[in-house]
Structure 1
Amino acid sequence: MPSLPRRLGTTGAVMALAASGLLFGVASPASAATRCYGSTCDGLNPANTICANDARTIDTTWSGIELRYSPTCRAAWGRRAGGLNGGVDSLWVENENGQAYSVDVPSNASGNYFTAMVNDKDIWARACDSVGVDGGYNCTAKY
């Protein structure tokens, strides 16, 4: 059995290593996320950025499509959350400058589907979806 000073020394070394990780900043997933702002967010996946951290839903269509917005990033994207309207064929987000990103959604899909982001700094953006084969679509309010 190790002596008391040896056990205390080992415990102290382990604690020092743990503390050094705190002091020297071991990267967490949140801190490793990409930072962007306005136009530098164009085309990025919101889940891989800090933008998802403060995102809020601005508007929702009758078919359940959401316009999501990050005040930190000044970027927007479209999202279909959960098992909402299974008839959505395509989801897209667009902004006033004509930038748009889309994602196809299978008719039997469940779970979340979302688009890449568009710049929403001092311009409007909205999320839209096409519903069924009739060519109809609906959009959120512009924000």
Structure 2
Amino acid sequence: MSYQKFRGWVRALTVAATAATMVGVAPVSAHAETTLLPGWDLPATVSTQADGSILAEVDPAALAAKSTTFTTLATTGCGSTCDGKDPNNYKYAGATCAADATTVRAVYEPGGTYAGVELRYSPRCRTAWARWSNNAQLLSSISLYNYTSSGTERLHYILDGLDRASQAWGPMVNDAGYLSKACYFYYDGGSTANPYYTICTTKY
């Protein structure tokens, strides 16, 4: 599957209040086994969150094995220089940050359609970014939130106006010594009471 950078504006925000309502909810059940999901290159553990959304988290052992090659580079990464950069174009240590990237978290709409957002991570660059996953709904958007170790929001990016014809990813944030999560906002016309939803991954 090929991905294109979102054709609209990217909004970089540092206001924590906007993110306050975009939080992942605690899983209520989880599969005992790990599985390889569509679009993933490493196995993940899958759980159902209290709101019905599907949370996927990469198997730590598989990620550690993949990251071993980049241990020396990963002691520093590209730092804040990478904030706001396109992972498919920005190069660090001879390659783009997307070159070694893997999905470490994802959250999908209920129903098994795999519509939602992926949290991508580069061991080489020690950066993270949000990537729209296939089958996203009309009027949807994806966002990325970056936090300090104390939980203070450092930075976030929002990509608005995605639809079924779009495939997109957002800009990177420095994830060395920080934590990041991705969120997906979508419209569900089948729900008349509250047709708008926001679902989020856990932090990585």
| Mapped partners of 1:98, 1:89: distance in 2 | 24
TM-score (norm 2): 0.48
| Mapped partners of 1:80, 1:61: distance in 2 | 10
- Pick one of 124, 144, 153 that aligns with 1:72: 124
Aligned residue identity for 1:89: S
Larger Rg: 1
| Mapped partners of 2:116, 2:184: distance in 1 | 9
TM-score (norm 1): 0.66
- Pick one of 154, 162, 165 that aligns with 1:106: 162
Higher strand share: 2
Task: Check whether the contact 1:102–1:116 (CA below 8 A) recurs between aligned residues.
Answer: no
Aligned residue identity for 1:137: T
Q: How many residues get paired? A: 106
Q: Are 1:43 and 2:98 an aligned pair?
A: no
**Counterpart in 2 of 1:22?**
none
**Counterpart in 2 of 1:85?**
136
1:69 is paired with a residue whose SS is: strand
Aligned residue identity for 1:40: T
After superposition, give the CA deviation of every residue in 1:6-43 in whole Å (9 maximum; x if it has no partner): xxxxxxxxxxxxxxxxxxxxxxxxxxxxxx71211100
RMSD: 1.9
Higher helix share: 1
Aligned residue identity for 1:104: D
**Counterpart in 2 of 1:19?**
none
Q: Are 1:120 and 2:184 an aligned pair?
A: no
Aligned residue identity for 1:79: R
4+ runs deviating over 6 angstroms: none
Q: Are 1:131 and 2:131 an aligned pair?
A: no
After superposition, give the CA deviation of every residue in 1:70-97 in whole Å (9 maximum; x if it has no partner): 0111110000133x23246111111003
Structure 1: runs of 5+ lacking an equivalent: 1-35
1:40 is paired with a residue whose SS is: helix
